[in-house]
Amino acid sequence: IRNSKLKGIKIPELAEPIKVTLFADDTLVYTTEEDDLNILDNILQTFCLASTAKFNKEKTEIMPIGTTTFRQNLINSKEMNNYTFDKGINIIKDGQPMRTLGAWIGNKITIDEQWNKILEKQKQIIKLWETSRPTLRGKELLSKSLVQSRAMYLATVNTMPQHIEYQMTKLIKNFLWNNKKRGLLDKPYTYAPTALGGLNMPNLKARLEAIKITWLRRYLTTSDRPSWAYVADAILANNVTKKPTTEHKSCISWALQNWHESARKDAQIPIQLKEIINTARKYNIGLDGRQLSLETLNQLPIWNHLAATNNYLWNKKSS
């Protein structure tokens, strides 16, 4: 597929277009509306013939991306560039989440249903263990290993909504204090290590914050940078503030330049990316152009340079 004539998705700063990603038996193919999908069909048929494998069309899903008009036309016509999709293939509609590698993706989606299933399972686990009247130490271990752990993967790949965080925190608190309105210790002491007189209970808010910082670190890394980080750069560059005026082509890196993403409600920035950027601002992550060596300054993108004096005070990213 990578060596085929399929165009794939071209991302600025990436040498090769993204055509396919593979993990175990999961395969995602990325095409444009100009691609001839008969080429993909031929590749898959050749692979199946050589390997004796067979693709399960009932599990094959098409996720349209792009403008609302393009997505609706594809969903209604089941055609793209004179290619008609087979009847057994599911085309994902707006508002319908699609699962890939445990994450839920889609256009205009919410995943409250998935979070509610996790909350319900956590309640069942707590109800089961409450009958054994566990000690405080036992509740700490159970809360970490059987309750909070069920939510961490989805929180990592999809982020956790605030109302779900509130419900989950309350659930663990009620488990700790046997559903009493007030506990025997203030909240900070329940989270503190036992060596400091605390109960070492799981701090969900701190855990979620650590996840955001981990994503931020991966986004900002310069060595072996993941492909998604370049996709994030492109999304941010397509949603720049109107003032001060910034030329789109000059927006290369959110972290290494002084332009900013739009805060408008209609800005097309995924919530996961917004949380990464907000975390960077919260901890004042940024380069201070006035403190860098001349050698380092010369290596930065020349357009929207961080050391530009007239823009520095406006730069919200620097502390």
**For all residues of the chain together, what is the average pLDDT?**
89
CA dihedral 70, 73, 79, 82 (to 10 degrees): -70
Q: What is the mean pLDDT of residues 181-205?
A: 93
Confidence (pLDDT) at 318: 45
Burial of 123 (0-12, 13-18, 19+ CB in 10 A): middle
pLDDT winner (highest mean) among 83-87, 175-179, 182-186, 287-291: 175-179
3-state SS class at 192: coil
- Report the percent of the chain where pLDDT is more than 70: 95
Q: Which residues, in sequence order, are CB contacts of 10 under 8 Å at separation 6+?
A: 17
* pLDDT higher than threshold 90 for residue 148: yes
Helix axes 204-220, 149-158, angle to 10 degrees: 40
Average pLDDT on 164-187 reads: 94
202 has a pLDDT exceeding 80: yes
What would the two tokens of residue 298 be? 């010369």
- Which one is predicted more confidently, 109 or 249? 109
| pLDDT score of 23 more than 80 | yes
In the prediction, which pLDDT does 314 show? 46
Q: Does the pLDDT at position 306 exceed 80?
A: no
CB 88 within 8 A of CB 57: yes
Q: Is the pLDDT of residue 182 over 80?
A: yes
Can you tell me whether residue 14 is helix, strand or coil? Answer: coil
pLDDT at 310 over 70: no
Q: What is the pLDDT of residues 112-143, one digit of tens each?
A: 999 999 999 999 999 999 999 999 999 999 99
Q: With left for phi above 0 and alpha for psi between -120 and 50, is residue 224 left, alpha or beta? A: left
Supply the pLDDT for residue 75. 92
**Cα radius of gyration (the chain):** 24
Q: For position 246, what pLDDT does the model report?
A: 78
**Model's pTM, two decimal places?**
0.86
Give me the mean pLDDT over the 223-233 stretch: 91
Per-residue pLDDT tens over the stretch 43-67: 989 999 998 888 777 788 999 998 9
